[in-house]
Amino acid sequence: MKPQKNRRLKYRDADIKPPGAGTATLELTKIDVVEAEICTAVRLFFEDSHPVPIYVLASAAREILMTIGSKVGVETTLEAVAKAYGVGLKAAIRDVNKLTNFFKHADRDPTATVSFSEDEVDGILFMACNDFGGVTGGLPIEAQVFQLWVKALAYERVSDAPLRDQSYIRFGIKKFPGIRSASRKEQKRLGLEFLNKSMDDPSLRIPHNREVTLAPKKQALDGGQLGSPAELD
């Protein structure tokens, strides 16, 4: 077998520079990382894979995007929800991180158990997709399909949705025929089928910013810098 030559490859738009046969070095921005996490999570979701790794990937993406959002002046989904419900941001972060911390750490509770409903994945992954669009100005196809899938199921009646969303929801129902009366497993199968069809549609490839441009820091009253909302353990 001939030795593999070094070559420049592409993983989406992230540069891959293999230093030797069988290995590759990826040059990644934070946006590249988040995109990979979201795209992988969406595909695993529609393939009906175990919900824990999907949740962890989506949560990691959401956390990065919230941090970037605070630095570039973009209000992320969790911030908007906390504000709408009159909940403190730190409390909202703590609540959304409960499952993530359980899935990632064992230093405080090595013998603990957790009750985890798989539909909790839907919310955290939707937040990650929504925040990706807000922070970067675009969405990978996987995120577009997942958002459409969620919206198609979000309301018992289309007329219950805000008027601005109703045509989008009807579009989703059309793209996932029978989704509203299907079992959850079949709903995911419909999502996977539409995702696979959509991957080759160039009209769905929405460019997005891969460079993070920091917003000017605000001056605190004492002359110091106001901090960004920190993720809590």
DSSP 154: S
**Cα(91)–Cα(142) distance, rounded to whole angstroms?**
30
Please check whether residue 16 lies inside any domain of the structure: no
- The beta-strand segments (E) located in 122-197 are none
Please check whether residue 75 lies inside any domain of the structure: yes
Please check whether residue 198 lies inside any domain of the structure: yes
What is the predicted pLDDT for the residue at 155? 95
Please check whether residue 56 lies inside any domain of the structure: yes
Please check whether residue 79 lies inside any domain of the structure: yes
49-58, 140-149, 211-220: the lowest-pLDDT one:
211-220
Give the residue numbers spanning the domain of 132.
Answer: 27-204
**Cα(208)–Cα(127) distance, rounded to whole angstroms?**
17
Q: pLDDT digit string (tens) for 194-209? A: 999 999 999 898 888 8
Total domains in the chain come to 1
pLDDT for 214 beyond 70: yes
Burial class (CB in 10 A: 0-12, 13-18, 19+), 88: exposed
Token pair for 65? 């995007």
DSSP 204: G
Please check whether residue 22 lies inside any domain of the structure: no
Please check whether residue 70 lies inside any domain of the structure: yes
Torsion, Cα 88 90 91 97, to 10 degrees, reads 140
What is the predicted pLDDT for the residue at 11? 47
Q: Are 192 and 125 in contact (CB under 8 A)?
A: no
Q: pLDDT digit string (tens) for 77-122? A: 999 999 999 999 899 999 888 989 899 988 888 988 989 999 999 9
What is the predicted pLDDT for the residue at 207? 83
pLDDT band with cut points at 50, 70 and 90 for residue 15: low
pLDDT for 43 beyond 90: yes
The distance of Cα 31 from the centroid of its chain, to the nearest Å, equals: 11
Mean pLDDT of 33-39: 97
